[in-house]
Amino acid sequence: MTKKKTFLTLEQAREIAKTYPTPFHIYDERGIRENAARVTEAFSWNKGFREYFAVKATPNPFLLKILQEYGCGVDCSSETELMMSDACGFSGEQIMFSSNDTPAGEFALAAKFGGIINLDDITHISSVEEELGQLPETMSCRYNPGGMFELSNGIMDNPGDSKYGMTPAQITEAFRILKAKGVKRFGLHAFLASNTTTNEYYPKLAGVLFREAVRLKEETGAEIAFINLSGGVGVPYRPEQQANDILTIGREVRKVYEEILTPAGLGNVAIYAEMGRFMLAPYGALVTKAIHEKHIYKEYIGVDACAVNLMRPAMYGAYHHITVLGKEDAPLDHVYDVTGSLCENNDKFAIGRELPEIEMGDYLYIHDTGAHGFSMGYNYNGKLRSAELLLREDGSVQLIRRAETPKDYFATFDFCNIMDKYLK
């Protein structure tokens, strides 16, 4: 099998574990910075380009501050994500608020910070009015064309089954209503596929949105200020997959831009993106230690991490590559299920995976957890979420979130005295 590279060695893992016991999530500062610079370069042809990092992917202020240095904004979808972004110094149009089924008060908080509200549904217009009194001068709407979304290599997703966005008729009516109520600058947004590993996705999506923007301008007279390509640019979780080339993607989006928008008088439209996975996933890893082995109908290796630390394999059957640190060149001559300790049989990081022989105390490096890894954690079985660490460019390690303690788990009982012995 093709190998995937790690950004951490066995020696580093051992040294880190002396201070921060496994399991822990760790992020590669150098990789994050280099990738952010590539994204900026890929779309530098568009003067208004901005990457709005999807906070839900990795909600950590230390990482948000790094991306901020490269001109990134933030894409928020909840009250706490807005609060974190505000605390990090994001403000005004550096914030995109793209929620759905939005609880009361969150539109008002987004507006308080000066963020752009991206409406998921036409009925949300009245919700914004009720909360704000009047509509902001700049607003965006999420578009859903329905049907299947296909590329040359097959069906990528089914927007018709997606809960997100407005139909063509609805978004036309929404633009008309918003314009009549004083909105002056409009944005268009769509999310049609997830984790695509093909350079075709963004250019194809751009074509869909650019043509829709031209139609909306012609039919409603709205000023289209920006078009948001959202996320969906994926990463190669499997070692045999080829990584997307963001520079090629940027060039191809530019071609579509010049073919569709420029001739329609929309050559000043800003291009936005909301990539979370592409920005950070390859630059994070979950490091865990083998603590048990079991030999029954299959061979099992039990580790000290579980689905609480990384739920994608349990939730989706998602593949995450595993490297046994220090055994990168050893033959893959054993077949294991790699499991956590939850009382659920789907708590497995790998099923029937070919790996080198694993001995107790070995460190397993689970790849590509930099996005939708720690952020999807939970506390089932009373398990506690791990620390998050940053491997700095100089080789030092910084704690960027401490591990949870039992006191954190019991903190919501602070209104009574039942758990006092564990809250002191």
List pLDDT tens digits, range 202-218: 999 999 999 999 999 99
Q: Which of 72, 88, 343, 416 is the catalytic position?
A: 343
Among candidate residues 280, 298, 326, the one where a domain is terminated: 280
Joined tokens for residue 345: 């049989």
Residues 252 and 399 in one domain: no
Q: What is the pTM of this model?
A: 0.95
Residues 292 and 265 in one domain: no
Joined tokens for residue 399: 């704690």
pLDDT band per the 50, 70, 90 thresholds, residue 145: confident
For position 153, what pLDDT does the model report?
52
Active site residue 76: no
pLDDT in tens, 59-95: 999 999 999 999 999 999 999 999 999 999 999 999 9
Per-residue pLDDT averaged across 13-36, rounded?
98
Contact of 216 with 222, CB cutoff 8 Å:
yes
Q: Which domain holds residue 264?
A: 29-280
Residues 35 and 151 in one domain: yes
Residues 261 and 306 in one domain: no
pLDDT at 155 over 50: no
pLDDT at 382 over 90: yes
CATH number at residue 134: 3.20.20.10
Tokens 């990081």 locate to: 349
CA distance 147 to 157: 9
pLDDT at 296 over 80: yes
Among candidate residues 235, 250, 280, the one where a domain is terminated: 280
386 dihedral zone (left: phi>0; alpha: psi -120 to 50; beta): beta
For position 149, what pLDDT does the model report?
62
Q: Per the domain annotation, does 198 fall within a domain?
A: yes
pLDDT at 194 over 60: yes
Residues 276 and 292 in one domain: no
Work out how many domains the chain is built from and give that number.
Answer: 2
Q: Per the domain annotation, does 422 fall within a domain?
A: no
Return mean pLDDT, the chain.
95
Query: Which value, to the nearest 10 degrees, does the dihedral of the CA atoms of residues 96, 101, 105, 111 take?
Result: 20
pLDDT band per the 50, 70, 90 thresholds, residue 306: very high
Residues 55 and 93 in one domain: yes
Q: Per the domain annotation, does 419 fall within a domain?
A: no
Q: Per the domain annotation, does 418 fall within a domain?
A: no
Q: Per the domain annotation, does 123 fall within a domain?
A: yes
Residues 65 and 84 in one domain: yes
pLDDT at 48 over 60: yes
Q: Per the domain annotation, does 424 fall within a domain?
A: no
Per-residue pLDDT averaged across 352-381, rounded?
97
Residues 217 and 363 in one domain: no
Q: Per the domain annotation, does 3 fall within a domain?
A: no
Residues 54 and 162 in one domain: yes
Percent composition of the chain: helix, strand, coil (DSSP 3-state, to 5): 35, 25, 40
CATH number at residue 356: 2.40.37.10
Angle at 62 between CA 81 and CA 280, to 5 degrees: 80
Q: Per the domain annotation, does 296 fall within a domain?
A: yes
Among candidate residues 254, 280, 306, the one where a domain is terminated: 280
Residues 53 and 116 in one domain: yes
pLDDT at 156 over 60: no
CA distance 190 to 283: 26
Backbone angles phi, psi at 395, to 5 degrees: 95, -10
pLDDT at 1 over 60: no
pLDDT in tens, 397-416: 999 999 999 999 999 999 99
For position 273, what pLDDT does the model report?
97
What is the percent of the chain where pLDDT is above 90?
91
